[in-house]
Structure 1
Amino acid sequence: MKRMLTLRARSLITKCGISTSVCIQARGRSVAKVGACSLSPYYDRKDEPLTAVDFVEQLSRDQKSLKEKEKSSWVSLSTDEKLKLYRIRFHQSFVEMGEGSNEWKSIIGGTLFLLGLTGLYFAWQRMYVCAGVPHTFSNEWKAKQTKRMVDMRINPIQGFASKWDYEHNKWKK
């Protein structure tokens, strides 16, 4: 799916995505000539095994002679020649399409790299941007604040001050 999307995006960016055919003048009339841009790009897919175009677009001299030999009886072709003909038409076989790729390694590596950068960023922030722990988190400050809340009788019926015994100056059990 990812490969198909990249091929589609590439075809839209290139001139093939813009122009689908070429119009030429032939004997005073316009004729639409089907160019390479009107054909879909080559891709290997199991659900569409026969593509509209061959994998190899520009044939070498050996490949051209092999294509001519293909038009005769296939009995005269060797196994190696049949394989070369297959590779002209297709890039991968069904077995090769089913094999896994090593793309997961680069994805995991990139993810771990970004997590490492994020960790470095937060470490830098903690050292240089954020100040130390506020003084209000110290135990002395908490004790003073609790004493002040009790002295002010904050929430004396059901809350904080209701749990303090004012006669004996200690917490109720």
Structure 2
Amino acid sequence: MNNRILITGLRRACIMQRVTMTTDSKAVIGNREVVGFGMNGTESYIDRVDFPMPAIRYKENNPDIQALREKEKGDWKKLSIEEKKALYRASFCQTFAEINAPTGRWKSSIGVILMGISGALWLFIFMKKFVYPPLPVTFEEERQLAQLERMKILEVNPITGLTSRK
């Protein structure tokens, strides 16, 4: 008994959700014609090469496009090239060539990266000049050579064994 009540309630909820989804989608898509299932069953328009058939047409129906759609039902040889292009543009925003065309976005990305590197270099120079203390005198080449000679004289860490023989 409880199962029947639960199943009936779930069915009603699903039906109400479908009704809500269709009324909400009508508000979003406006006067555009639904022509397919769409990506994941949603009524949306998106230009993608891997999903070439959107669920709705690109432009809303107007009298000019409606007249072309009626003319389209007849012989296609009677349509001019301009009319065919207008029909295509009413259904799709871009052609495959336009979708695959380079956008030039890489230029702005490279510019932002180079500005970031430039800012980091200026920050490094500022820190080196004004924040860090000067290097100790033991970093001078003469001092390092003198230290090496002293280590040889005192025999610090001598190399012994087979590798020490010539």
**TM-score, length basis structure 2:** 0.60
Of 49, 74, 77, which aligns to 2:52?
Answer: 49
Per the alignment, residue 77 of structure 1 pairs with 79
Q: Which whole-Å CA distance do the structure 2 matches of 1:156 and 1:105 have between them? A: 57
Decide whether aligned partners of structure 1 residues 126 and 61 sit closer, same or farther in structure 2, where only a CA change above 3 A counts: farther
Q: State the structure with bigger RCO (CA 8 A, min sep 6), 1 or 2.
A: 2
Q: CA deviation at 1:46?
A: 2.7
Using the aligned pairs only, state the percent identity.
33
SS in 2 for 1:52: coil
SS in 2 for 1:23: helix
Decide whether aligned partners of structure 1 residues 94 and 143 sit closer, same or farther in structure 2, where only a CA change above 3 A counts: closer
- Which shows bigger deviation, 109-118 or 132-141? 132-141
Q: CA deviation at 1:143?
A: 4.7
Q: Which runs of 5+ in 2 are unaligned?
A: 1-13, 29-40
Per the alignment, residue 92 of structure 1 pairs with 94
SS in 1 for 2:52: coil
Aligned length: 133
Q: Which whole-Å CA distance do the structure 1 matches of 2:15 and 2:80 have between them? A: 40
Decide whether aligned partners of structure 1 residues 111 and 22 sit closer, same or farther in structure 2, where only a CA change above 3 A counts: farther
Q: Which whole-Å CA distance do the structure 2 matches of 1:33 and 1:146 have between them? A: 81
Which deviations, in whole Å up to 9, do the C-alpha atoms of 1:84-115 show, x marking residues without a partner?
Answer: 11001111122323322212212222222222
Q: Which runs of 4+ in 1 moved over 6 A?
A: none
Q: Which whole-Å CA distance do the structure 2 matches of 1:143 and 1:93 have between them? A: 71
**8 Å CA contact retained: 1:39, 1:53:** no
Per the alignment, residue 113 of structure 1 pairs with 115
Decide whether aligned partners of structure 1 residues 40 and 114 sit closer, same or farther in structure 2, where only a CA change above 3 A counts: farther
SS in 1 for 2:117: helix
Q: CA deviation at 1:139?
A: 3.7
Which deviations, in whole Å up to 9, do the C-alpha atoms of 1:39-65 show, x marking residues without a partner?
Answer: 243222333322212222x34443344
Per the alignment, residue 4 of structure 2 pairs with none
Per the alignment, residue 137 of structure 1 pairs with 139
Decide whether aligned partners of structure 1 residues 146 and 120 sit closer, same or farther in structure 2, where only a CA change above 3 A counts: same
Which deviations, in whole Å up to 9, do the C-alpha atoms of 1:94-137 show, x marking residues without a partner?
Answer: 23233222122122222222221222222222222222232111
Q: Which runs of 5+ in 1 are unaligned?
A: 1-20, 25-29, 163-173
**TM-score, length basis structure 1:** 0.58
1:23 aligns with 2:26: no
Question: CA RMSD for the aligned pairs?
Answer: 3.4
